[in-house]
Each structure stands twice: as structure tokens, then as C-alpha cells.
Amino acid sequence: MTSRPRHLFVTTALPYANGPFHIGHIMEYIQADIWVRFQRMVGNKVHWMGADDAHGAPIMLKAESEGITPEQLVTRIAADRPKYLEGFHIAFDNWHSTHSPENTQLTQRIFRELQEAGLVYVKAVEQFFDPVKNMFLADRYVKGECPNCHAKDQYGDTCEVCSKAYEPTDLINPYSTLSGATPVRRTSDHYFVKLSEPRCKQFMREWLNAEQNGKPRLQPAVRNKANEWLEGEGDQALTDKDISRDAPYFGIPIPGATGKYFYVWFDAPIGYLASLKNYFDSGKARANGEERSFDEFLAAPDVEQIHFIGKDIIYFHTLLWPAMLKFAGEKVPDNVYVHGFITVSGAKMSKSRGTGISPLRYLDVGMNPEWLRYYIAAKLNANVEDIDFNPEDFIARVNSDLVGKYVNIASRMAPFIAKFFDNRMPPLPAGSRGISAALEHQAAIRAAFDEREFGKAIRLTMEVADAVNAEIDVYKPWILSKDAANNPDNLKKLGEICASSMATFKALTLFLKPILPALAEQAEGYLNSGPLDWNLFERGDAASLLPAGHHFGTFKPLITRVDPKQLDALFESANEAAKKTAEAPASGPGPTPQAASAAEITVDDFAKLDIRIAKIVAAETVDGADKLLKLTVDIGDAQRTVFAGIRSAYTPEQLAGRLTLVLANLKPRKMKFGTSEGMVLAAGPGGKDIFLLSPDAGATPGMKVK
């Protein structure tokens, strides 16, 4: 507050425009949104840009399979974005697209500047070419037999069976996954950025290890990782980056090179700048108080350029992107803040297993977006760590902290204030545990927000809330209120605890405001305070928090508790949605839902499934899991333990001794209760309607299904 405001150009990773947001995107946005709101509350100027990452072969192919143009696909996906962003109170200043005139212009400009800097060269590359689709094939579109262990149907980069890495051209009997055709080798000129050049490496070395505002610009884990890539030797050495793709490709044309396009990862980060340019050109920046032009702003030394990203794209943001900007003569990024992934109940997100949480479903089942914001904030810190969404933990955390501790303070004081003090602020007592705690912690809370240690900010905030609740218990206002009407001493004491509680409540509202903007706004309504910001603590004394005589608004319940049933609904619908996508993957307007079936696979794909007749030797319930049964199955040559989510439809007694089908080569999965070594096959929508498959008479355990 005393220093000049910082000017922050903030971005979050551009979501790939071939699908809707998932919980991972939302987590990143929530992290950045909290940070951005906090920065605004301490008086800094923030410009937060988002955009769709629209280019690349996957989008082109997906559009083609739906019979629409890539532009139509991208437009359709983009149309859904506001639902999510508004739904979770994500306050971007601008949302744009990499498929835009701004991005074309900037990308081509940066490319030319890199050329002039002597960092671009052309080299012939031999690659597989699909003679049917008439296009070059990226590694993931080529499959064949592993040259090392001879496993069939391995991708063009590494073998999933023996983990051997190789070139796609090493595959035996390769085929295109797009057409099935045998690809031919063909040579084409590609453009490369010379990252391996000494001055380039020297720059990256300096950039990676530099300090920013007296602190390392990168988190230590990120810096270590990037340094490792940068300093690698031999076959680990940093290689030049291939930045071109041949037509057909959905992307930005390379100037002066017919039939060549920029690889999507070249123009994607430039999309940050394109969104910023669009923000300036459309007048939004000016409306947001920024008087400079786009070019002035981008080059200004006082503007900090900060990227929030996930740990999967560290390479691009800490090596390629800074180097691109540097040698194009642009200002380089100041910070890259990296976060981990979000898991659900310890399992990695997986649409096919239905463990992911759909953000839209979350809103549809009526859950409060601020619950999720709070929960995620409580788990976030500045490290590159994965965080886990645990349903029980979620309920406990939200209900206990937000309802039981924070909102409860206003809720338990409001009636007294209305009844005994004409809904006005009584005079503060000399000492107050709550206010002291708030004043003591406010600087640390502020620092924690700035450092993205949101979990720490919340811990400290809850300490303040605990202090007030304990203080209320000492005063016992419910006893004071009994004769306060004709006992001046008790009336005074009642006033003290009301005043202390409400002043602290105001501070707590401020602390939580970056995380809970809508709730804070309601609380501000009751506090009749106007929008709170960190100026509240400028004077640092208790009396300035909330002056005596201040008139409060009408108290209304601020937030409801989480109902466990809502979480059940969330996961049920997630499971149903997952089943639907499993049945009709990316089919768009094709067959009707009832007729929907899975995408076509080959006999070879089917052969990968080791489905066997199995005898259920034993079945038992699992303590602590009301959906699971623990089954011991005989699959011929072995007995396996399998956990099956069929308890809603079967009792252990119904199962013991019967035959069924088991997928025996499913990767074993560790669960809270043990390891599940296979999957029992069943059909049905769920609940009581789950139907286990059975073989006809005569089948014996171990027989393979084929």
C-alpha cells in the first residue's frame, strides 16, 4: 500500500479447444483467481488473460470426424466457456483464441524476429506419411510391432510392454491409426529453433536461475527440473525445437513457406500476447485503467509477466518460451508459477473410471462453487504438489470452517445486536482476543496470499475465528442478555463481545474475500462496509476496524452446509456421464444415444483383453466401503482378489460359488482396502440394477473368452 502499485500481466494455461473444462482447469483458474483478487485487494493492477488453444492436428481430426470445420469446433467449445468461468467466479479480464488475427500477426512477427536473430534453420526430416490421408503422421498416430520385444500395437515413441524408447520408423509392420494404411517414409523440410546454440543456452541458464523481487523466479523443484533439461549431455542434451508442420494442418501459415504451418506449441504461448493485444485493441484495457498502448505495456519494465501453469508444461514455459521472447527482442516472463494435479479420492483423474469430477455437474447438482474454491484453497501451497479431492474431507472442511467457525460468528451475534443495540456497533472493549489475533496475523496472511500459500492463509485465518469463538464462550452473551435490559453492567459487557466479534468478523471477511468473493459480498452487505480491501489494516488499530455507532444491514444466512447427498449426486452423475462417454466417445451428432456403441476397434485390440471365466470362491463386505464387495476369484491358474462396486445389487451370499467373467490383465489398482487385481464384468446403470455376466453351463474357471 505504501509502495507503488505493481502492474501484473497474468496468464493461465490455454486450454486445448477440443473439449470442455475439467476439474484440473478449474483448479488452476481458482488458484490464479484467488491470487489475482488478492493482488487487487492490496492495490495492484492486474490484467489476467485467457484464451483457447485452438490449433493442431487433434482438433483438425476431431472436427473432420464430426463433419465440421475446425473453426466450427473451436467456436462451439468456446461458447461453453462462460458457463464455467462465471459459475466458479473466475474473473478473467479477457478471453480470446489462438486462432485469431492478433495471434497470426504476433506469431509471424516473432518468427521473423527469430529468423533475423539467426536462431531459425531448416532441416530435412524423414517422417512417416499416410498415403491414404495424405498427411504426415505424428508419433501417436503410428503403431506397430515393438522392435525390441515384438509386442504388437505399440505407439511410435515407446513400447508400453518393455518401455523401450525408439523412433517411429523403427517399428516393425507400422500402420497409421488414422487410416490403417501402411505409412511410407517421406522427407520434408522442417523449421527449427536453435535452442542448443551457446548464447541461447546461456540466456536460459541466466533466466532460470535469476531472482525476481529478491526471490528465485522459479520454484526450486521447477528450476531443478529445467536446469536438468538444459544441462543434459549426450542423448539427454537439449535439442533444437522443431516448430513446423506440413499441410494439412490447422494452424498459422509460416510466412514464405508454402504448405508449412507453425507447430501448435509455437503459437500457443504467443496466444497469451494475442489475448492481451485483443484486450488493448478492444478498449478493455483502457476501461480497466491502463492508459498505455499494447506495445508500450508489453515492453514496460514495470509490468510483471506471470504465467500460472501445470507441471506438465514446464518445458515449454521455462525454456522454449523465454528463449523465443528473448531472441525476438521482446520482454521475457518474470515468473512461472507451477502447480500439481488434482486427484479424486487418491485416484488419478480418469473419465473412463468415472472418478473425475465434472465442473459442470458440480454446478448442476446445486453445489456452491465457493465450497470448492475454499476446499482447493485450503489444500494449495506454493509447491508443485498434487492435491487430492476427498469427499469426506471436503464436507468436514467446508462445514466446520465456513459454517461452524466463520459464518457462525455473525450468526450468533446478529440477534443481540439487533435486539439490544438498535443494530448498531457498540463500543469496543479494551482488549479483545479476536481482534488481537486478526491484527497479529493480518500481515502473515497477506504474505501467505502473495506467496500462493493459500493453505497457510486459511490456517491463520481459522486461528482468528477460533479466538473469537473462544472469546464469545468466555463472555457468555446468552447469559448477559437475560437481564441486559435492566443491568447496565451486563449490557455493556454484551456490547463489548458483540463489538469485538463483529470487528473480527469484518477482518475475517476480508481475509476470506479472495477465496470467497460472493460470500464476502453478502457479508459486506450485512456489515454495510462497502467493498473491503487491505486498507482496512492501514492504521493497524482495533478502533479503525469498525467504528462505534456503525449501522449494520439485515442479517441473512450467508452460506449453507454441504449435504453429503449432494456429493453422492455429484459422483453418481459423474459415473453416468462417464458411461455415456465410454459408450459413445467423441461421436458428436452421429448415432442416437440408445444405439451408441464404442468406437471401432480391431480384433487385435480385443485380443489384448484377457477375459476369463472365473469362479467366485469367496465374497465379503468391506468395512468402510458401502459400495464395494471384496471377491476372491479363481481364474484357473491363480486366485485373485478383486474389489467390485456391486454391493448395492448383490449380497456376498448370492455370489459365493457362482461363475462369472473377469478381466484378468487389468493393471492392478491399489485401493484403501487392498489391491484389486482384476475387474468383474457386469452391466446395468448402477444401484440395484447391476447385472453380473455368467457363462453357459459347461464353462470352467480359467477358460479364455475369445
Partner RNA sequence: GGCUAGGUAGCUCAGCUGGUUAGAGCGUGGCACUCAUAAUGCCGAGGUCGUGGGUUCGAGUCCCACCCUAGCCA
Q: Where on the chain is the footprint of RNA (CB under 7 A)?
A: 157, 163, 165, 195, 220-221, 224-225, 228-229, 232, 236-239, 241, 311-312, 315, 319, 341, 346, 348, 379, 381, 383-388, 390, 392-393, 396-397, 399-401, 403-405, 407-408, 411-413, 415-416, 455-456, 459, 462, 466, 469-470, 472-473, 476-479, 481, 557-561, 670
C-beta closer to RNA: residue 470 or 638: 470
Q: How far is the CB of 465 from RNA (least distance, A)?
A: 8
SS3 451: coil
Q: How far is the CB of 198 from RNA (least distance, A)?
A: 15
Q: Cα-Cα-Cα-Cα dihedral of 574, 580, 586, 587, to 10°? A: -160
Closest listed residue to residue 49, CA positions, set 2, 102, 120: 102
Q: How far is the CB of 75 from RNA (least distance, A)?
A: 29
C-beta closer to RNA: residue 585 or 668: 668
Strands (E) located in 171-214: 172-176, 184-193, 211-212
C-beta closer to RNA: residue 345 or 587: 345
SS3 193: strand
Q: How far is the CB of 238 from RNA (least distance, A)?
A: 4
Q: How far is the CB of 221 from RNA (least distance, A)?
A: 4
C-beta closer to RNA: residue 341 or 511: 341
Q: How far is the CB of 85 from RNA (least distance, A)?
A: 26
Q: Are strands 135-136 and 120-130 parallel, antiparallel or unpaired?
A: antiparallel
String of DSSP letters for 646-698:
-TTT--HHHHTT-EEEEETTSPPEEETTEEE--EE-EEEEETTEEEE--PPTT
User: Cβ neighbours of residue 652 under 8 Å, at least 6 residues apart?
Assistant: 619, 620, 621, 629
**C-beta atoms surrounding 605 within 10 Å:** 12
C-beta closer to RNA: residue 239 or 654: 239
Q: Are 251 and 262 in contact (CB under 8 A)?
A: yes
C-beta closer to RNA: residue 115 or 383: 383
C-beta closer to RNA: residue 267 or 401: 401
Q: How far is the CB of 700 from RNA (least distance, A)?
A: 33
Q: Are strands 659-663 and 625-634 parallel, antiparallel or unpaired?
A: unpaired
Q: How far is the CB of 131 from RNA (least distance, A)?
A: 25
Name residue, grid cell 476496524: 545
**C-beta atoms surrounding 298 within 10 Å:** 19
Residues 201 and 189: their CA atoms lie apart, in Å, by: 25
C-beta closer to RNA: residue 62 or 397: 397
C-beta closer to RNA: residue 123 or 476: 476
Q: Are 92 and 50 in contact (CB under 8 A)?
A: yes
Q: How far is the CB of 411 from RNA (least distance, A)?
A: 3
Residue 696, all three cell numbers:
453357459
The number of residues in the chain equals 706
Closest listed residue to residue 351, CA positions, set 516, 543, 575: 575
